[in-house]
Chains A and B, each alone.
Chain A
Amino acid sequence: MADKSKVYKWLDEHTEEAADLLKELIKIPSVNPYFDDEDALKGEGDAQRYLQKYIENMGFRTEFSYPDAQELIEYKDMAGYMADHTFEDRPNLYGELKGSGGGRSIFLSGHMDVVQTGSKWKHDPFSADQVGDTIYGRGTCDMKGGIAAMTIAVKAIQEAGIRLKGDVKIGTVVDEEAGGMGTLALMAKGYRADACILTEPTHLKLAPLCRGILWGKIIIEGQAGHIELKREDWREGGAVDAIDKAAYILEHFKSFNENWTYTKAHKYLPIPCQIKFAQFEAGEYPTTFANHAELTFDAQYLPQEKDEKGLGGKVKKEIEDFVQAIAQTDPYLRENPPRIEWILDADCGETFDTEDFFKVTKKCLTELYPDAVVEGNCAHTDMGWFCNVGIPTLNFGPGDSKLCHQSDEHIEIPEYILSAKIIASTIMDWCMCEDEDGKEG
């Protein structure tokens, strides 16, 4: 039996080295190019090269691969496929550390891209300021913290003189924040393992699922007309207030959401799926009835609701049908039905708690962190494609997801180190270790 305490001890004694790895990654801005930010900050390639060198030094065999929409054409209309995304100097990094044989392999994965800088930072977003035990910077949570933790976890195992039987594979992808084509390409390339940890920030919770996310816009056409004058029959061109119709639709979604509270709950999710309205835009001028209203929403779906393409087609249909049903209750809307413009469908995945990998991970987690809970990720992660190809996958990583995409995103070093210990422990139990004298443990 390998002595895990040596691994933990190494991590405790090398927190600075561990923190430095994270800081170096933060200092190489890797904003996804599909976000509005300075071009100089869009360095996914540089960040990947840094990590590539780092894991090569650990003995990983590495390779870069570039997603290519043309090569991936067979995945058209499936999760993560974006026909117009290009990948110049935007490589996925794959690294493999061979085990001595006879163990199970593991994939450690995360995305290297980060969202735009945004405003209102008190700390420089790319200088990785450390204040006490806190490191600030874009990507500390989402998710260079997780990438650094999984990397340093492997290193700690090596430094403790422990040899794994199963292979360890590291795959860091680009383009997660703008659609997920990096992970699609990684899986399409054929990289596989017996299990996968996605180190998205779960705040040390074990997340065996994530939810699919739909963004859509309900577009309601009204009819303009002078707001201070008497309205004529709309059939004869009279004004129709699009704000009023939009409010009517919003009222109906209350009962719709109430129903989803019961029908779209999951035992590992703290909240049910809902349709949440994020934007309401209507009207142009104070004297004119709004002739157009747009309601932008975020709706979530459960892995069990995925369609044959791994996406939210069924739930889209459900929402579209409901909007049409509302339209049937209003004489004007019946003849002028609102439509939905779909903006995003981010897929999801789930690993059941009956899976060995779930049990192993949960045990390792609880040993080091007795307060740990199992709680699905309410937002999207890239786990869908891993699950689609049959790899049991869990999200587990350091950092509070509420800080993602916010100004002054930060991570606590003790949590970061603890996550590395838990990941190391899981790797050791899953891949299995050789005895220190070379025999099986």
Chain B
Amino acid sequence: MTHDEIKNKVTKIFRDILDDETIVLHDNTTANDIEGWDSLSHISILYAIEKDFNIKFILIEVKQLKKAGDLFDLIKSKTP
């Protein structure tokens, strides 16, 4: 999958989970930029991504994520 395909798919997941169609993700987007993206919703979002992309995250990987771009790169590393 390309970077942009991953970004679009992840954006859709964010919009579904946080119930906000206006969400736009960029590589430098962080939790401070998205209302509702906090510690309570973060893992739910990651779980939805795992199911959608058919991948698995481990805690060490999740801890390294600082911004949306890191998440896109991680997904890309796990998908063919």
Indicate, yes or no, whether A interacts with B: no
Chain A residues within 8 Å of B, Cβ to Cβ: none
Q: Interface of B with A (CB < 8 Å)?
A: none
